[in-house]
Chains A and B, each alone.
Chain A
Amino acid sequence: MSYLEVRNLTKRYGDFTALGDVSLDVGEGEFVCFLGPSGCGKTTLLRAIAGLDPQSSGTIRQKGRDMSALPPAKRDFGIVFQSYALFPNLTVTDNVGYGLVSRRRQRAEIVRRVDELLALVGLTDSGPKYPAQLSGGQQQRVALARALATSPGLLLLDEPLSALDARVRLRLRHEIKALQRKLGVTTIMVTHDQEEALTMADRIVVMNLGAIEQVGTPQEIYRRPATAFVADFVGSMNFLSGTLAAADRVRVNGHDFACPLQDGLAPGTAVRLCIRPEDVRVRDLPADAVNRVAVDVAELDFVGAFCRATLRIRNAADMVMTADFSSNLIRDLGVEPGRQLDVALPPDRLRVFAA
């Protein structure tokens, strides 16, 4: 039995469907990210789980208990908002202890728990300070400590890092992930930042237009995107339009490419053939390499650690794709605009979607 079961959740605002029949399972101790563009329904789903914006229909069970109709105060969760929602007139200590005071705990016990939490988030000395005296990253950690103070069974993070600058964000990613592992608290984080989702999550739920596109580990999402939307939204992807010539061949502008076996699609279907820029092979191509094509280098964009090349397939000038080449490769092979190259598209790296 999973820790959190979401079944057929639908949320409507008038005629607009923010969530359409969403079902999802989250295991105990798991770190799950809801990933998607703005307006995809990820925050709506999170707020429905918290009971802050109740669903129009559907059920939510936590630890087997039906929470669907419970108000937020009767559910078991801690939450961190994008704005942190720290109480500005209370000290860090009072903020963190806010949920403990009303539970009639002993004063000494509260002090001990607050100290423990502040140590946990690395803010031992900041207890007497007010939120306005802290940096954004520190405020974020106070909000996290406050949410964890009452040891909730479920931690909800609503874009917790998006208000921070890039460097702090990187550091906090690791800290939050490490903290979550240490405490083993089941966690759901909403984010629109794919890198954040890929580095932090045990599993990613990719959402679009109020529906779930794919649920999987970061590797699965990146390597085997289930839909064209996921392929496009996560990482960079080349899309080449063609038709399915046979169950394992796609014809693009007269070129035939071998691809993984397509069970679901009938030959003759219009498809899109996908490959990530870093999967385009150039070095050490055997003469009989599969999916070998001759290309012209049209442009070369310096990105820092590598160069992104725009390649035009020979005899099919409107077929363009990009490929990532390391600096070494560019030096060794003398890649420059105008140069002809032979590249291969490894079949196991190709994905095919109905157009």
Chain B
Amino acid sequence: MTIATQGVPTPRTHKKDQDSEVAMRLLIIEDDRDAADYLVKAFREVGHVAELATDGEEGLAHALDGQYDVLIVDRMLPKLDGLSVIGTLRSKGNETPALILSALAQVDDRVKGLRAGGDDYLPKPYSFAELLARIEVLARRRGGREEMVYRVADLELDRLSHQVKRAADEIILQPREFRLLEYLMKHAGQVVTRTMLLENVWDYHFDPQTNVIDVHISRLRSKIDKGFSQQLLHTVRGAGYMIRDGR
């Protein structure tokens, strides 16, 4: 497959695609100065505010004091490691969503990270688009209630009856297609990367090396968007996909 360009998306393109975006307050706990500065700048370019802590203890202190939407925690930190920082926060009742960055990419490492209280786990090296998409999903998760019916424009998905309708016409979906659409609609207006889909809809943590996901998406798209004037399932270049009311 030709790998879609993965890099820092230009602010213009990104903002246009993410209009449900609210400026977030982020705390980055990372001891690698270069990586940290890069992240702070990149987040600023897309409209978020990022603060920096360069070791575990400083990070913990900031996190306890401040009100952040999402914490980005590197696993290996001086003074206090990332997992301990999160563990301490959780034990003090702080439920701020935390995304763990780590060079350790095995499934066990991931499980350990999530068990320590992390909400997501991203192995290094990562693309900023991936990180951004996951951060925004984490931030929004915080405020949501569990809805039973997802709606985007005239597309409706009933999670209980497993029925999907567009403009009141029923659309028949295979079980996997339904789950794919469900995940996309759950994060309507947010970028959903291929890796996120593979992890959450299929529960796989490896890199498939080919564009398997793309084909599933295009099949879904042909079922829900074909014949309708308004396209809801968008490809976000350099990042992934998004279901969005285009108006």
Is chain B found bound to chain A in the same assembly? no
